[in-house]
Amino acid sequence: MQVYPSVFFVTKELLSITGSGFSAQRAEASKNLIQKTFQTIDLISIKFYDTVLHSIDSDLFNSENFDTFSDAAIYVIEKMSHGFNRLGKAHGKGFFNYDTDPPTLWSGLKVFEKRSFNIPEQDITDRLTFAAVIGALQTTEEEAASIDPEIKALIATRMAELAAAYGKRFADPRSAPPSAA
C-alpha cells in the first residue's frame, strides 16, 4: 500500500490531536475534516501505523531532523492497537464501528478526552491543513517554487506560528535551521 506523504502527515497530526485530549463530542460534531481523517486512518489501518512506529530505527526516531510521531500520537496508536484491538476498517473496527450502515464514530474515543484540552477550532483545522502542506512541500519542491511570494509569506508565517505552539513538525521544511550565533 502506498501512503502519500501529505496523507501520512495529516493522519499523524490527527492522532497527535486526539492523544492531546480532543473531545469525542467535538469529533462527532465535525462531519467533515476530522471524521474523514479518522476514516482515512481506519482505511490505511491503525495496524499499519503501529507497524511503522515499531519499525523505526531508534537513532532515526530520535534525530533532530525527523519528527515522526508525537508522544500523544504514540499513545493513541498503542492504545488503539494493543489496548482496544481496534486496528482499522479491514479488521472491522477502528475509530469507527463498521458493523453499522453507515459506520458510526466509536464511542470509546472518550477515553482520550481531557478537560484541559483547549485548542481553538481554527488551530485544529490549520494543524491538519498545514500538515498536508508540509507533506506536499517535502515532495514537490519544483511546484513549491512556483507559488506566489505573498502566498508563500502567509504560509510561512502561519507555519511558524504553529511550530511555536505545537512543535517543530510544523516548521517549513525548506527553511534552514537557525544558525548558532
Cα–Cα distance, 158 to 163 (Å, whole number) = 8
Cα–Cα distance, 9 to 127 (Å, whole number) = 10
Is it the case that residue 175 has pLDDT exceeding 80? no
> Which of 44, 35, 11, 48 shows the shortest CA–CA distance to 103?
35
As a whole number, mean pLDDT of residues 147-175 equals 80
The amino acid that residue 129 corresponds to is T
pLDDT number for residue 67: 53
**Residues contacting 87, CB < 8 A, separation 6+:** 45, 46, 47, 50, 80, 81, 93, 94
Summarize pLDDT for 114-143 with one digit per residue, the tens: 877 788 888 888 888 888 877 776 655 666
pLDDT number for residue 59: 46
**Could you state, in order of their start, the residue ranges of all structural domains in the chain?**
5-170
C-alpha cell at position 89: 476498517
| Contact between residue 1 and residue 40 where contact means Cβ atoms under 8 Å apart | no
Is it the case that residue 65 has pLDDT exceeding 80? no
> Which of 115, 89, 83, 112 shows the shortest CA–CA distance to 102?
89
Summarize pLDDT for 73-89 with one digit per residue, the tens: 889 999 999 999 999 99
Report the phi/psi class of residue 169: left, alpha or beta, with left for phi > 0 and alpha for psi in -120 to 50: alpha
Report CA-CA distances (Å) from 29 to 11, 35, 123, 124: 19, 9, 16, 14
Q: What is the CATH number of domain 5-170?
A: 1.10.1040.50
Helix (H, G, I), strand (E, B) or coil at 161: helix
Enter the pTM of the model: 0.74
| Contact between residue 96 and residue 19 where contact means Cβ atoms under 8 Å apart | no
Is it the case that residue 109 has pLDDT exceeding 50? yes
pLDDT number for residue 181: 43
% of residues, the chain, pLDDT over 90: 16
